[in-house]
Structure 1
Amino acid sequence: MSTPPTRWALAGAGNRGYGAKFAQLVEEGADVDGEARLADVLVARRARILDIGSGMGRVAAALQARGHEVTAVEPDADLVAQSRRTYPDLSVIHSDVLDVDPADLGAAFDLVVLVGNVMVFLAADTEREVLRRVHDVLAPGGRVLVGFHPVDGPATARAYSPDEFAADAAACGLRVDLRAGSYELHPPAADYAVWVLSRDDRPQTLTSFGHAL
């Protein structure tokens, strides 16, 4: 059975502005490393990191430049091509993550990254399947960094409430360790959600800026 088309793929040409926008920002020398800075502090040096939905490669490349061993996975052919042009030293697997054999990914990962609205662009009804895959490739003590617009995101993205996402994560053996409103860890907000997850077999107090979740 083939993987259904993602919401991103169904948007077709409507997505072209994303790659052009970040190509311009990179060319201008703009700071595009916000997600990577947070990801970097979540792991030790030389960590194994999986970037799912790596897009044009900016987060994966920034993490690789910081000395991590990064595996990037991206299903959009145009973004894969852009990534290879912009960051030729970054290896990218051109595939939907659900079509990748976990055995081909090698050893388990210290961190899995799903930022830039990846979760709200997945194929319909595959959110838990992706989260289960994430759970299964985490190393002991591994963590997950997720970021998306719960509401009012890009036109083709789904609405995904924080409560529903947390329930899906829990159903897949993942626990919310932190919810914030930005990659600079501002308090939780309605328009954007940043999550740090871990496997639920790691005993740890759940907090969101000092409050129990």
Structure 2
Amino acid sequence: MTGPRDRWSELTGGHAGEEYSQRFARLAASGHDIHGEATFCAALLKPAARILDAGCGTGRIAIRLAELGHHCTGVDVDPSMLAVARRDAPDQEWLLGDLARLDTLGLNPGFDLALAAGNVIPLLADGTEAAVVRQLAAVLRPAGLLVTGMGLDAAHLPLPEPTVTLTEFDHWCAQAGLTLRQRYATWSGDPYYEGCGYAVSVHSRLTM
């Protein structure tokens, strides 16, 4: 039995892997830093940390974090995205699966950090967001971190209007035993302010 279709699949039809990869390759070739998320996460971690890249896409962030010495597992629901990741980094662990059902993938818990970048949360299937947050919290070690990046308005989303508010997101996190530690407006660490269109949030799993 399958659940509701995620918004990413509705937008792309599940065939965006090569196009997505080429877009970032063009950005890199033009001199843009495409590793902001990885740099941000690496600054939060001790060496050789275990990281779950939830909604890893083509593996851009997980591959960079592995280059920095961390142990990364990527999970995505889009086979076309994972095909690129597996081609570019065949020795890393890439799992095809629904984030709302992480517990069916045989993951060993105790991750130091779970990452949901690239508007993963707003692009989930409608009604599954709280379940996904619970699943991500469950794979973290005590004091482990959930790091998310999401657009809060149409200018920062591939959607006509936002699907998640920070109030809702923080409520789901609290229900899952996570507490907000830091919030920024960009992956570069610019201060978050009320009304800005993007939020990078760092939540920590409670130790009790």
Q: TM-score range by the shorter chain?
A: 0.7 to 0.9
**Aligned position for 1:194:** 200
2:55 to 53, 56, 70: 53
**Aligned position for 1:120:** 122
Contact kept, 8 Å, 1:5 with 1:123, in 2: the verdict is: yes
**Aligned position for 1:210:** none
Contact kept, 8 Å, 2:177 with 2:206, in 1: the verdict is: yes
> Residue 47 of structure 2: SS of its match in structure 1?
coil
CA distance in 2: counterparts of 1:14 and 1:94, whole angstroms: 12
Structure-to-structure mapping, 1:112-151, within 5 angstroms? 112-151=114-153
Cα deviation, residue 32, structure 1: 1.1
Structure-to-structure mapping, 1:78-97, within 5 angstroms? 78-97=80-99
Contact kept, 8 Å, 1:145 with 1:194, in 2: the verdict is: yes
Contact kept, 8 Å, 2:120 with 2:150, in 1: the verdict is: yes
CA deviation string 1:63-114 (max 9, x = no partner): 1111111110011111111212233333210112233336711241000000
**Aligned position for 2:79:** 77
Contact kept, 8 Å, 1:7 with 1:157, in 2: the verdict is: no
CA distance in 1: counterparts of 2:110 and 2:51, whole angstroms: 9
Higher alpha-carbon deviation: 133-142 or 158-167? 158-167
Change (3 A) 1:157 1:106: farther
Change (3 A) 1:13 1:22: farther
Which stretches of structure 1, 4 residues or more, deviate above 6 A after TM superposition? none
> Residue 144 of structure 2: SS of its match in structure 1?
strand
Structure-to-structure mapping, 1:1-213, within 5 angstroms? 1-13=1-13, 16=16, 17-26=19-28, 30-101=32-103, 104-152=106-154, 153-155=157-159, 158-189=162-193, 190-201=196-207
Unaligned runs of 5+ in 2: none
CA RMSD of aligned residues (A): 2.2
Matched letter for residue 174 of structure 2? A
CA distance in 1: counterparts of 2:79 and 2:25, whole angstroms: 16
> Residue 119 of structure 1: SS of its match in structure 2?
coil
For normalisation by structure 2, the TM-score amounts to 0.87
Contact kept, 8 Å, 1:173 with 1:199, in 2: the verdict is: yes
Cα deviation, residue 185, structure 1: 1.1
Q: What number of residue pairs does the alignment pair up? A: 202
CA distance in 1: counterparts of 2:163 and 2:131, whole angstroms: 18
